[in-house]
Amino acid sequence: MSYLRTHGVRIEDTRVWVTHRRLEYGPFDYEWIPNLRGIELMFCGSKFGEILSEEEIYADLSEYQLPMRVVEVAVLILGNALYSGLNGFSDGERRNILEDCLIEAGCDRFLPLVME
Q: Which residues contact 22 (CB under 8 A, 6 or more apart)?
A: 3, 4, 5, 6
User: How far apart are alpha carbons 22 and 102 in whole angstroms?
Assistant: 19
DSSP for residue 111: P
Residue 93 three-state SS: helix
Do 71 and 65 form a contact (C-beta atoms < 8 A)?
A: no
Q: What is the pLDDT of residue 3?
A: 53
User: How far apart are alpha carbons 94 and 116 in whole angstroms?
Assistant: 15
pLDDT band at residue 2, thresholds of 50, 70 and 90? very low
* pTM for the full predicted model: 0.86
pLDDT band at residue 1, thresholds of 50, 70 and 90? very low
- Summarize the confidence of residues 52-68 as an average pLDDT: 90
Do 97 and 80 form a contact (C-beta atoms < 8 A)?
A: yes
Distance of CA 61 to the CA centre of its chain: 13
With a cut of 80, say whether residue 47 has pLDDT above it: yes
